[in-house]
Amino acid sequence: MTVSPQNLAHDAYRNLRDAILEGRLPPGAPLSRRRLAEQFGMSPVPVGDALTRLEAEGLVETRARAGSRVRIPAPSEIAGNYELREALETHSARLFAETASPAVRERLLAAAARLDAGFSILDRCPYDARRHARIERMHVAFHLLIARATGCSELVTAIERSRVLLFNWLFMLSAELAGLPPGWHTELAKALVSGKPEEAAEAMRTHVRYRRREVAEKLRELARRAAKQERMARGPQRRTGK
Amino acid sequence: MTVSPQNLAHDAYRNLRDAILEGRLPPGAPLSRRRLAEQFGMSPVPVGDALTRLEAEGLVETRARAGSRVRIPAPSEIAGNYELREALETHSARLFAETASPAVRERLLAAAARLDAGFSILDRCPYDARRHARIERMHVAFHLLIARATGCSELVTAIERSRVLLFNWLFMLSAELAGLPPGWHTELAKALVSGKPEEAAEAMRTHVRYRRREVAEKLRELARRAAKQERMARGPQRRTGK
DNA sequence: CCCTCAAAACTGGTACCGCAGTTTTACGTT
DNA sequence: AACGTAAAACTGCGGTACCAGTTTTGAGGG
């Protein structure tokens, strides 16, 4: 689809969003309207519009007359977002178990198998950002396949939004998160396809919480390291900047 | 709160949002940047910024160079939003039952009693928009009290947002919705306070679904009436088919 | 060498203006 | 009166300029 140039603000929005989600603009990265405008070949106005939108979505934060930047979340916010995900995805799983057609159930099993294969490859090879991003897209697609099968588009977008935030915020951790148990998604898919709604929801709850615990540990570790670096950097350094 | 005049765009945002939520700008109402700018005593720029934000939140829709208006949702969107509410509030209830302190549990029971008293008054008196709005605020406060007790602010804002949309969209129906069973919220509160997490979640599910069914019926009725009116108005019209 | 503080270099916020679409109006034809 | 159509009115979009803050810089005093 080369169809989409609705307007400049929309282009800027998409560009910035993609850049943030791909980690090219990590949390804390400065977002100067004028600089971005020059880079995109437009005036600062549509860039500002895009930033307003991204701010409403929680990806960007702006301090009046002191600059915008990619939002840096507190660890508690990440935990809260996992809580949100648990609420949304368990409900999604419940609806899936209640209403999904046989064809969709088949597709879910197939997608789970592919996804698990991808994760196992990820496990055996050294870290590669490109490959990692590709698998992560598969992962998102897997969960959205469940959500879409419920026929409730509001649920889909809510899950997507919550995932977007988590993925962006966890980009820094993604390289060092441990692998998943073999057959992790296949097991989930089986519960969704063949189980009762209650069982499907509980399987999804377990699924979401597994990663959550791991992420929480990593975040604590990261906070410790950051504190230590802060202490060390107090002494000698002067920031010369880009 | 007369405290927060951060900037003009923020003022415009608050003004418009309040006007929409109070029904002064009903779904479909035109929102001209220039007209609103004059009304607010500012230039069209901050108004546009406010509209961008409201659009991101789903309250406003904009057709390029053809005007913005308060968003008119399809019935399916309202149904989808109830699905979202079910996901969020059942989880909220579950967390409440797991973690709420005794003091908060007491407060919830008290709030439920007050709320039920309010609804019973609403039932016995003729419709009054002001009184109705006051009770509705109490209702929102009751549900947010549950959410806040979970300690997860992300859950609170998600519920708030979902409620905002529903309340706005259902404003047209609110006058003619039937009353609730006596002790409706007290019963829910009891389940949350004394029940197991599973029971709390199920009680909330029943609670959300009850109103949902009623609203769905009203919406079907409304759609029938709208279709009839449309047929009658078809005569002198032409089809340009954008 | 470190600290102080004012000036310079940036920042987002807003006004004003013109552009290119869309919608409404109004007029001329049948 | 009913239709088609052209013009007028109005719309959101975007560019440029300016303002009032914030942050960074850099020179001078200790």
pLDDT of residue B227: 59
**Predicted local distance difference test score (pLDDT) of residue A169:** 83
The Cα of A162 is separated from the nearest Cα of chain B by a number of Å equal to 10
* pLDDT score for A178: 73
Q: How far apart are CA B159 and CA B94, in angstroms?
A: 14
A94-107 pLDDT tens trace: 999 999 999 999 99
Query: What is the structure's pLDDT at B218?
Result: 83
State which residue of chain A sits closest to B78, comparing Cα positions: A154
Of A64, A80, A150, the CB nearest to B154: A80
Identify the top-confidence range among A19-23, B119-123, B198-202, B231-235.
Answer: B198-202
* Binary contact (B152, A56; C-beta < 8 A): no
Q: Which of A6, A64, A155 sits opposite B6 (nearest CB)?
A: A64
Among A75-79, A132-136, B112-116, name the most confident range: B112-116
Q: What is the pLDDT of residue B226?
A: 61
Tens digit of each residue's pLDDT (9 = 90 or more) over B130-160: 888 888 889 999 999 999 999 999 999 999 9
Using a 7 Å CB cut-off, which residues contact strand D?
Answer: A 7-9, 37, 42-46, 49, 63-67, 239-241; B 30-35, 44-45, 48, 62, 64-68, 236, 238
Distance A239 CA to C5 C1' (A): 20
Nearest CA-CA partner of A207 in A53, A93, A60, A38: A93
Strand C contacted by B46 CB (< 7 A): yes
Q: Quick check: A87 and B83 CB within 8 A?
A: no
pLDDT at A227: 59
Predicted confidence at residue B143, as pLDDT, reads 97
B interface mutation test: which of A59, A77, A81, A152 has the most B CBs within 10 A?
A152
Could you check: is the Cβ of residue A68 within 7 Å of any atom of nucleic acid strand C?
yes
Residue A238 DSSP class: -
Q: Is the pLDDT of residue B42 over 60?
A: yes
Q: Residue B34 has what pLDDT? A: 98
Rounded Cα distance between A242 and A143, Å, is: 39
In 3D, which of A37, A36, A11 has the Cα closest to residue A25? A36
**Cα A13 from Cα B164, distance rounded (Å):** 25
- Quick one: pLDDT at residue B158? 97
Return the H-helix or E-strand segment holding B208: helix B197-233
Establish whether the CB of A239 is closer than 7 Å to any nucleic acid atom in strand C. Answer: no
User: What is the chain A residue with the closest CA to B93?
Assistant: A87
Q: Cα distance from B91 to chain A (closest Cα, Å)?
A: 5
In tens, the pLDDT along A211-236 reads 898 888 888 887 777 655 544 443 33
Arithmetic mean of pLDDT over chain A: 88
Residues on chain B touching A57 (C-beta within 8 angstroms): 56
Task: Please report which confidence band the pLDDT of residue B6 belongs to, taking 50, 70 and 90 as the band edges.
Answer: confident
A120, two tokens: 């196992």
- Burial label for B44, CB within 10 Å (0-12, 13-18, 19+), is middle
Nearest-by-CA chain B residue for A81: B154
Res. B222 pLDDT band, cuts 50 70 90: confident
- For B171-204, the pLDDT digits (tens) are 777 767 777 899 999 999 999 999 899 999 999 9
Q: Yes or no: say if A170 and A85 are a contact pair by the CB < 8 Å rule.
A: no
- pLDDT, residue B221, reads 80
pLDDT in tens, A151-200: 999 999 999 999 888 888 887 777 677 778 999 999 999 999 998 999 99
Q: List the single range of A14-28, A106-120, B42-56, B221-235 with lowest mean pLDDT.
A: B221-235
Instruction: Label residue A41 left, alpha or beta by phi (over 0 means left) and psi (-120 to 50 means alpha).
Output: left
> Among partner residues A57, A81, A91, which is closest to B154 by beta-carbon distance?
A81
pLDDT value of position A152: 97
Please give the pLDDT value at position A188.
Answer: 98
Of residues A122 and B236, the one with the higher pLDDT is A122
Radius of gyration of chain B (CA): 20
Is B105:B193 a contact under the CB 8 Å cutoff? yes
Average pLDDT of the residues of chain B: 88
| Pair of tokens at residue A20 | 């943030």
